[in-house]
Amino acid sequence: MPSLKTLRNRIASVKSTQKITSAMKMVAASKLRRAQSQAEAARPYAERMERMMASLGASVAGSPTAPKLLVGTGADKVHLLIPVTADRGLAGAFNSNIGRLTRNIAQRLEAEGRTVKILAVGRKGRDYLKREMASRLVGDISYAGRKSIGFADAEDIALRATAMLHAGEFDVCTVIYNKYVSVIAQIPTEMRLIPAPVPDVAPATEASGAQILYEYEPDEETMLARLLPQNMAIQIYRALLESAAGEHGARMSAMDNATRNAGDMIKRLSQTYNRARQANITRELIEIISGAEAL
């Protein structure tokens, strides 16, 4: 039976832990709101980009001179995986889900006789993959200590991947990130980046419902060569934003759970404390009474 003093100390310590977790939950909630509005603001550009891609991609896809970003190198030997994780922990299974999915994909690809390279985005993912599969890691990017991510960050990643593609370092590129569904649900998702999947939306239509035939200036191929890297950066940007929103959502629910657990623990501990206190009083009373009887 622990003494009353140690029980009191434990209760105090659990109480301060609870204060911290509930504060972290509040912070995560407000960051989540910001991340959500950032993701929302990015949507118009992505939508319009997708529309252009759809009409352009369809007209060029078949040609033999189509750019590498669209059709890949034609081979399927070396895969580059880009797992996107957070820079901080305490977000439930948010980071380890990505780590695990990356490992599974890598193992599956290797079992099929392909080579895997990993470019880790985010500190947690890098740490995990360094332990698990250090030999495949070719680089890492981290935004630790930064307030928010901008489009320039996504462009950086896209440039790096493009440079690697042109240097012939990989054939297929896949981004693995947590897709934000709701505060309590983030789904680890793989999204192929190169060769670029041509979006499957119907070509833009005006109110009349008729399909529009665009003229291109300059020609389709020059246009596509410019549009593709931009589209890639946009896809990465979207993944980064979804992942950021997911991170805060995951942290929010993790911290909510922690706060509740701390509450339960405080309840249990104070019950033990009260019982011990009463036992003490009873014992003292018995001692006094039996002392008096002995006289």
Site string for another protein, 55-94 (x = CB under 8 A): xx--------------------------------------
Residue 114 CB, shortest distance to another protein, in Å, is 26
Q: How open is the CA angle 49-243-90, to the nearest 5 degrees? A: 170
Q: Rounded to the nearest whole angstrom, what is the least distance from the CB of residue 124 to another protein in the complex?
A: 25
Using the rule CB under 8 A, give the single segment among 98-106, 170-178, 213-221, 258-266 that binds another protein. 213-221
Cβ–Cβ under 8 Å, residues 119 and 160: yes
212 interacts with another protein by CB under 8 A: yes
Choices 74-82, 184-192, 204-212, 283-291 (CB under 8 A): range interacting with another protein: 204-212
Contact partners, residue 243, CB within 8 Å, separation at least 6: 84, 85, 86, 122, 177, 178, 180
Dihedral Cα 189, 140, 71, 163, nearest 10 deg? 160
Q: How many residues bind another protein (CB under 8 A)?
A: 34
Site of tokens 């100390």: 9
Selected binder of another protein within 19, 33, 48, 108 (CB under 8 A): 48
**Residues of 210-231 as b/e, b for ≥16 C-beta within 10 angstroms?**
eeeeeeeeeebbebbbebbbeb
234 binds another protein (CB under 8 A): yes
Interface characters, 165-184, with another protein (x: CB under 8 A): -x------------------
Structure tokens at 218: 């300059």
When asked if residue 225 is in the footprint of another protein (CB under 8 A), the reply is yes
Among 23, 185, 201, 204, binds another protein (CB under 8 A): 204
